[in-house]
Amino acid sequence: MTRRGIAAAFAAVLLLATPAMSAAAPPVPRGVLRGWNIVLITLDATDPARIGAYGGSPRTMPYFDELARNGLLVMNAYTLTGSTAPAHATLFSGLSAAEHGVRSNGLPLAGGVFWLPEMLREQGYVTAGSTVAFFMNRTNGFSRGFDCFEGPAGDDDAMRRSNRAAYRAFEQNCLPMLSAEKPFFAFIHLKGGHAPLAPVGEAYLRRHSRSLPPDRLPPIPTAEQALLGQDDAALRTSLNAYYDASLSEADDTLRLLFQQFKTRGLTRKTLFIITADHGESFDHGFHGEHWPSPWQSTLRVPLLFHTESGALSRGRISDRLFSHADLVPTLSHLFAFPVANRNSGEAFNLFGATKRTAVEAASVNVYDYEHYVREMFAASDEGVAAAWRKDADDLERRGAFYWSRIEMAPDGIFKLLHFGASQRSRPAETPMQLFDLSRDPGEQRDLLRSGGGKRTLAAAMLGRARSSDFLFGHFLADLKPSGEPARDALRRQLDDETIKKLKALGYLQ
């Protein structure tokens, strides 16, 4: 067995040895944490498969593993896209990118959208937050509802700093505002494993470079090498060492954060939530390029609920899926918060009787593309519609696209994937693929090409996906005959039932 295999087996033994482990979500009464504090910590670009509690190396994030042994770990949590601002906007609003408006980094939050910090402040909470992303700033609406909000100015790339440096702004300016006298909501966005080539302490690198002599450290790859060198084994080794070292440094920052909250008497009646906006891809030819990646390493995220008092049961939840959109209804259940202006789609309370069994995720370009298509359909003037059509066409030619649907079934968790169709970003890729994530978590065996006998399942999943997203796996070029206005061509192809669905989805007026 390889060292990585031994580490994974050791981590699995530790996890199974934890008492009171359970696969089902425990029954939790509504309002069980009413009046408690909330601390939401997001680790940027953090793949749970690297963490011991999820079967990764116990050397990477040992403090997270310690918290997991005394907390409630969600095994199958997903982001809706591999991009920072859209993912955080979904966490705070419970809405998809199409609804909250932050379709990609740098776009502002749509007006009137439910915003968790704003609601909590109205409920009497002191609210404090910090971010390492300059595009999650006041101008774009992310500071709404915060009494204290710290973030980098301009285009300052705080992702290039250490996690400790990223936490310092919150520690110095926001932490002093919090006390045990009044309930508080704290949001702390750390860089996690993002920008793994940024400087990281030598001790962390040595921890993840044990195959090298004591007097040597892995060479620092350049950004160009990281993009182009996926076939170079030595380069992959260096990239992985730097990424895991960054996660270890993030883990020590978590430890410091918890120590400071405890020292200040802020851990009693406090729910800590640790998750990620998305993972990071070091597979399938991607190396640190998370945003166009459709793979588990990017879309699956860690999720841990931890209380000092054990008010929530310890264990694991693996009998359902979880999406970022589910955080708001889950907190609404735990804290008996009012949640108005809910999204038109479905969001689930993690502790509810109804389990989430499907998640749909997409690349940021899909959200922009579908926005253009909606605007094209909605335009009353043909010239305006043609302009939106041109935007869609331009993006279709140059964008990196994926649509994916993950479903939990009695015999496993399956993922249907449309990626790089036609002349788009990766023409060599098969447009539709199907993976059994329970038996093939690394997504190496496409069941549609390997004789897996799952074509009927794939067709059913595709039908369910297109019932909620008309363009799932489609481009206008696939649908529109040449020489005819796009709206007329598409409308002519649609039956009355499809038109009714498109109106419900907001494509047609």
The pLDDT value given to residue 188: 98
Q: Give 212-255 pLDDT, tens digit per residue.
A: 776 777 777 776 666 655 567 777 888 888 899 999 999 999 99
User: What SS3 class is residue 435?
Assistant: strand
Domains of the chain, each with CATH number or no CATH: 3-356 (3.40.720.10), 360-505 (no CATH)
The pLDDT value given to residue 457: 94
Q: Which of 158-167, 259-268, 349-358, 398-407 has the lowest mean pLDDT?
A: 158-167
CA distance 415 to 437: 7
Q: Could you identify the residue written with the tokens 């020590």? A: 252
User: What is the helix (H) or strand (E) element at residue 317, kind and residue range?
Assistant: strand 315-317
The pLDDT value given to residue 424: 42
As a whole number, mean pLDDT of residues 136-156 equals 89
- Closest by CA to 57, choosing from 233, 232, 178, 207, is 207
What's the chain's Rg over C-alpha atoms? 23
Q: Give 327-379 pLDDT, tens digit per residue.
A: 999 999 999 998 755 544 578 999 999 999 999 999 999 999 999 988 888 88
As a whole number, mean pLDDT of residues 11-39 equals 72
The pLDDT value given to residue 11: 41
pLDDT greater at residue 325 or residue 289 = 325
Strand partners, 315: 72
Structure-token pair, residue 340: 């108005």
Sorting pLDDT into bands at 50, 70 and 90, what band is 403?
A: very high
The pLDDT value given to residue 340: 59
CA distance 87 to 367: 12
As a whole number, mean pLDDT of residues 411-421 equals 88
Sorting pLDDT into bands at 50, 70 and 90, what band is 164?
A: very high
User: What SS3 class is residue 48?
Assistant: helix
As a whole number, mean pLDDT of residues 403-422 equals 89
In percent, the amount of the chain with pLDDT more than 70 equals 83
Q: What is the pTM of this model?
A: 0.90
Half-sphere exposure of 379 (CA within 13 A, CB side): 19
CA distance 177 to 125: 11
As a whole number, mean pLDDT of residues 115-135 equals 96
Check whether 304 has a pLDDT greater than 50.
Answer: yes
Find out whether 64 and 51 touch, Cβ atoms under 8 Å: yes
Q: How far is CA 57 from CA 32, 329, 443, in A?
A: 34, 32, 20
Q: How far is CA 191 from CA 130, 163, 247, in A?
A: 11, 6, 9
- Closest by CA to 312, choosing from 333, 285, 297, is 333
Work out the burial of residue 362: count CB atoms within 10 Å of its CB; fewer than 13 is exposed, 13-18 middle, 19 or more buried.
Answer: buried
User: What SS3 class is residue 428?
Assistant: coil
Q: Could you identify the residue written with the tokens 């389990």? A: 355
pLDDT greater at residue 260 or residue 341 = 260
User: What SS3 class is residue 139?
Assistant: coil
Find out whether 342 and 77 touch, Cβ atoms under 8 Å: no
Sorting pLDDT into bands at 50, 70 and 90, what band is 28?
A: very high
As a whole number, mean pLDDT of residues 143-148 equals 97
Half-sphere exposure of 295 (CA within 13 A, CB side): 23
Sorting pLDDT into bands at 50, 70 and 90, what band is 428?
A: very low
Q: Which of 86-90, 95-99, 137-141, 422-426 has the lowest mean pLDDT?
A: 422-426
The pLDDT value given to residue 20: 40
CA distance 422 to 420: 7
